[in-house]
Amino acid sequence: MLKHILLIGLLLTITFSLSAERTIKLLNNNWAFTYGYEVKRNVSERVDIPHTWNAIDAHSGTLDYYRGIGNYEKEVFIKEEWQGKRLFIKFYGVNTIANVFINGKHIGEHRGGYTAFNFELTDKVEYGDKNTIMVRANNAPQLDIMPLLGDFNFYGGIYRDVELMITEQAIISPLDYASSGVYLTQTKVTNDQAQVEALVKISNPKNLKGLELELSVLDGKSTILKKDINVSAHQTEVKIPFEINNPHLWNGVRDPFMYQVKVSLKKGNHVSDQVTQALGLRYYHVDANKGFFLNGEHLTLRGVCRHQDRAIVGNALRKEHHDEDLVMMQEMGANAIRLSHYPNDPYVYDMLDKAGFVTWSEIPFVGPGGYRDKGFVNQESFKDNGKQQLIEMIRQQYNHPSICFWGLYNELKTTGDNPIEYVNELQALVKQEDSSRITTAASNTGDHKLHEITDLIAWNRYFGWYKGVPSDISVWLDGVHKERPDFKIGLSEYGAGASAFHHENELKKPKAPGRWHPEKWQAHYHEEYWKVIDARPYVWGSFIWNMFDFGAVHRSEGETIGENDKGLVTFDRKIKKDAFYFYKANWNKEDKFVYITENRYKVRDEAKTQVRVYSNCKEVELFINGISLGKTQGDYGIFIWDNVILREGNNIIEVKANLKKEKISDQCTWTLQ
pLDDT digits (tens, 9 = 90+) for 107-161: 999 999 999 999 999 999 999 999 999 999 999 999 999 999 999 999 999 999 9
pLDDT per position as a tens digit, 203-212: 999 999 999 9
Domain boundaries, the chain: 18-167, 182-279, 603-672
Mean pLDDT, residues 343-353:
98
CA-to-CA dists, residue 175 to 181, 373, 526, 533, 571, angstroms: 8, 35, 46, 44, 37
CA–CA distance, 517 with 509 (Å, rounded to integer): 9
Spatial separation of the C-alpha atoms in residues 334 and 569, rounded to whole Å: 14
Q: What is the pLDDT of residue 294?
A: 98
What are the pLDDT digits (tens) for 608-624?
999 999 999 999 999 99
In one-letter notation, the amino acid at residue 496 is: A
What does the alpha-carbon distance between residue 148 and residue 65 come to, in Å, rounded to a whole number? 16
The pLDDT value given to residue 15: 35
Per-residue confidence (pLDDT) for residue 394, from 0 to 100: 98
d(CA 535, CA 544): 17
CA–CA gap between residue 24 and residue 275 (Å, rounded): 12
Q: CA 10 → CA 15, 167, 180, 397, 673, distances in Å?
A: 11, 28, 22, 20, 50
How many CA atoms lie within 13 Å of 85's alpha carbon, on the beta-carbon side?
Answer: 20
pLDDT digits (tens, 9 = 90+) for 159-203: 999 999 999 999 999 999 999 999 999 999 999 999 999 999 999
pLDDT in the model for residue 1: 44
- pLDDT, position 18: 41
Element holding 94 (H helix, E strand):
strand 94-95
pLDDT band at 374 (very low <50, low <70, confident <90, very high): confident
Spatial separation of the C-alpha atoms in residues 362 and 307, rounded to whole Å: 12
Report phi then psi at 73, rounded to 5: -130, 145
Domains 182-279 and 603-672 share a fold: yes
Phi, psi of 181 (to 5 degrees): 85, 0
Q: Average of pLDDT values for 45-63? A: 92
The distance of Cα 24 from the centroid of its chain, to the nearest Å, equals 25
Q: How is 129-190 classified by DSSP, letter by letter?
A: EEEEEEEEEE-S--TTSS-S--SS----EE-S-EEEEEE-SSEE-S-STT--SEEEEEEEE-
Q: Which residues of 198-209 are buried (b: 16+ CB within 10 A; e: fewer)?
A: bebbbbbeeeee
- Interior CA angle at 204 toward 202 and 208, to 5°? 125
What is the CATH superfamily name and number for domain 182-279? Immunoglobulins (2.60.40.10)
Cβ contact 603:673 at 8 Å: yes
User: Could you give the percent of the chain with pLDDT greater than 90?
Assistant: 92
Over residues 47-51, the mean pLDDT reads: 98
Query: How is domain 18-167 classified at the CATH fold level?
Result: Jelly Rolls (2.60.120)
- Write the secondary structure of 265-302 as one string of H (helix), E (strand) and C (coil): EEECCEEEEEEEEEECCCCEEEECCCEEEECCEECCCE
- pLDDT given for residue 38 in this prediction: 87
Please identify every residue annotated as catalytic: 411
Residue 661 banded pLDDT, cuts 50, 70, 90: confident
Mean local confidence (pLDDT), 567-587 = 98
Residue 665: predicted pLDDT: 97
Given CATH 2.40.128.110, say whether it is the number of domain 603-672. Answer: no
Could you tell me the pTM of the whole model? 0.94
At 410-459, the pLDDT tens digits run 999 998 899 999 999 999 999 999 999 999 999 999 889 999 999 999 99
Q: Is the dihedral of CA 357, 362, 367, 373 positive or negative?
A: positive
Q: Order of strands, edge to edge, in the sheet holding 86-91?
A: 23-26, 162-167, 86-91, 117-120
Rounded Cα gap, residues 393 and 404, in angstroms: 13
